[in-house]
Copies of this chain bind each other. A is one copy, B any other.
């Protein structure tokens, strides 16, 4: 790609495709030449999925009218987008949005380790806290460290209007202690949502929590004692490691494939050696950070293994609704109440609201006690707003749009990484969600990159955070949830340059 690398441009991210009217490029005060402004407008529309691959670009004549520009400016804009790999010209038919180029990077490798280390007490808090604190202390123009999509990709206007209506109609909701049993309408709506994962639940089997984090913590409190061991995926979400650490539990890290998820074989072998193993925590659909989706057979094998060894199976469903094609939850095969199903609307509906929920099978009564003693019920306002949104049947349409945009953004991010990261980099592009898992070429440390990139205005999520070991220092998790723009492209080019210079310093041949 011959990107002109126009530098970190504050305007480009502030203005997303959905905000921009067709003639906005002209009106904006910009130092960019006019053709670049027109090109940027369509680049954002492509990144946002408004113009999907294969769709036709407005004709040069149409561009002249729409943006009130000259023929040569309209042509220059199209040629710039063509040179950036976003458009392709078809003879006599005009320009079309180009299907994403096959990425130059190799597919993520299977884990080298096939056996689990012995379970260890977790001691990650210092490192994670240090990384988060330093990241937050630096005001960066580009942040690829999160795991949420951009706020404009969530239905915040609809939710906000709903909240305003509710506050006008029932202000006493702020002055009345919430019902300990939680809002029935929300639990009914969530039971309906769970049907898509093939789970049959009644509203009484659902408990509302402060995000999935509280649900996971309460699950572990219900089935373990301090000193017990809990099997987790390796790599795994650092938030889970922090929960294990705070509860005095030992983590048994099970090798996990970036494609098919947790290795049930490795779990079987490790479980046989660990007498105090009490539970397995697993993210079967769009594992964080790998993006893996377990095949149905593996999900069933995992459940059978937990049945045979009398382990609690804690299923974290956080990302499942973002799968490109619907996937079954392990809970859907559970006939004995062994699966504790934990979910959240934090990634799928409203990252600013802490609406999580759980259904804990045979441990549900215990879990209700723990939640009530730990934090009392959630506030009613948020529950009522979300219940209304879900009840009005708006969720399906929102999810379809969100999935489509994320699919485009994953491809654009993969392309940008492919354009700039050194040869030898490996990449997993999952079939849903926003997390890309990048394996750096040998010798590169994600922690060194984190520090160097932060200095230059880019916040990363180093692989080092995702394990109680140092095993994943050579990895990065990259958020593809923010619409691609020039500023992000420039930041990734800068990341590529950092990798190259670090490798040169180590005596490797420079990358592209």
Chain A residues within CB distance 8 Å of chain B: 125, 129, 132, 136, 146, 148, 150-154, 156-157, 159-160, 163-164, 167-168, 171-181, 209-211, 213-214, 217, 221, 225-226, 239, 242-243, 245-246, 346, 350-354, 369-370, 372-376, 378-382
Contact = CB atoms under 8 A, between A and B. Distances in A.
A403 B176 CA distance: 18
19 contacts: A146-B177, A154-B174, A156-B171, A156-B174, A156-B175, A160-B167, A160-B171, A163-B167, A210-B375, A210-B376, A213-B374, A213-B375, A214-B375, A217-B373, A225-B226, A239-B373, A242-B369, A243-B374, A374-B375
A351 B179 contact: no
Nearest to A150: B175
Nearest to A181: B136
Contacts of A163: 163, 167, 174, 381
Counted per complex, copies of this chain come to 2
Given A172-B156, A226-B226, A246-B374, A352 B136 contact: no
Nearest to A382: B379
B175 A350 contact: yes
Contacts of A375: 209-211, 213-214, 217, 354, 374-375
A177 B157 CA distance: 16
A394 to B, nearest CB: 14
A353 B171 CA distance: 12
A105 B257 CA distance: 73
A369 B129 contact: yes
Contacts of A214: 374-376
Nearest to A368: B129
A245 B372 CA distance: 12
A346 B217 CA distance: 24
A350 B226 CA distance: 36
B180 A159 contact: no
A453 to B, nearest CB: 20
A144 to B, nearest CB: 14
A437 B163 CA distance: 39
B179 A157 contact: no
Given A211-B375, A374-B214, A376-B210, A352 B177 contact: yes
Contacts of A167: 160, 163-164, 167
Nearest to A157: B171
Contacts of A151: 172, 174-176
A323 B475 CA distance: 56
A198 to B, nearest CB: 29
A348 to B, nearest CB: 12
Contacts of A245: 373
Contacts of A382: 379, 381
Contacts of A178: 352, 354
Listed residue (A174, A239, A243) with the most chain B CB atoms within 10 angstroms of its CB:
A174
A378 B179 CA distance: 19
Nearest to A212: B376
Listed residue (A180, A246, A346) with the most chain B CB atoms within 10 angstroms of its CB:
A246
